[in-house]
């Protein structure tokens, strides 16, 4: 996948795949857009800011879908997503916490490896103010994607050598971070 992303980073198709993954990850898909974003920026640093912008936009749009799932479809589709990831306890706690700290929960959880879809669906179920949700999502996702893009823009050539040399280790660490995010969510609940 890494080689494919590097080879296709300058094609119009690769960026659309990254946008779709970014959109889907915010509402139902388990893999983060970083898996596409990192190799694409490493292949062409000049795309870093554009990719960060579109990853943010597509992630926030996907977050709006997650919100709608929680708001309108929780009894069917939303509950299935929560059950699939075994996050029932955590989800219930998030709902209670939203009453007092909703805006900051969205901002902070959007920056962590904790699955953002949990936050978007919980926001909808809690009927959290849509404008505050939208604003917090933009802050969280923009910060995350622009920070990653900035690091790769400035340190990408150095990082690229190490990533290519230690690709297997880098993938295992990335997978571990994702799994830790899910484990944290499960333990919190």
78-112 pLDDT, tens digit each = 778 778 777 777 777 777 777 788 899 888 887 77
Segment 157-171 mean pLDDT: 71
Q: What angle do CA 78, 68, 62 make, to 5 degrees?
A: 95
Taking 80 as the threshold, does the pLDDT of residue 10 lie above it?
Answer: no
Burial environment of residue 179 by CB neighbours within 10 A (0 to 12, 13 to 18, 19 or more) = exposed
Comparison of pLDDT for 140 and 35, the residue scoring more: 140
Per-residue pLDDT tens digits for 112-145: 767 788 889 888 988 899 999 999 999 999 999 9
Residue tagged 């990533």 (tokens): 163
How confident is the model at residue 43, as a pLDDT? Answer: 81
Domain ranges of the chain: 2-188
Under the banding of pLDDT at 50, 70 and 90, the label for residue 185 is low
Q: In this predicted model, which residue has the larger pLDDT, 170 or 129?
A: 129
């Amino acid at each position: 996948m890494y080689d494919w992303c590097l080879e296709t980073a300058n094609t119009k198709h690769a960026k659309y795949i990254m946008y779709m993954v970014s959109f889907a990850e915010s509402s139902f898909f388990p893999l983060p857009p970083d898996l596409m974003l990192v190799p694409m920026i490493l292949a062409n640093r000049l795309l870093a800011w554009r990719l960060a912008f579109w990853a943010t936009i597509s992630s926030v749009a996907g977050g709006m879908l997650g919100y709608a799932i929680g708001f309108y479809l929780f009894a069917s589709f939303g509950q299935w997503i929560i059950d699939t990831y075994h996050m029932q306890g955590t989800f219930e706690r998030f709902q209670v916490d939203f009453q007092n700290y909703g805006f900051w929960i969205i901002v902070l959880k959007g920056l962590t490896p904790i699955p953002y879809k949990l936050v978007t669906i919980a926001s909808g179920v809690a009927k959290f103010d849509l404008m505050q949700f939208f604003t917090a999502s933009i802050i969280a996702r923009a910060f995350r994607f622009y920070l990653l893009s900035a690091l790769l823009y400035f340190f990408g050539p150095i990082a690229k050598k190490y990533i290519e040399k230690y690709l297997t280790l880098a993938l295992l660490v990335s997978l571990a971070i994702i799994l830790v995010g899910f484990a944290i969510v499960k333990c919190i609940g």
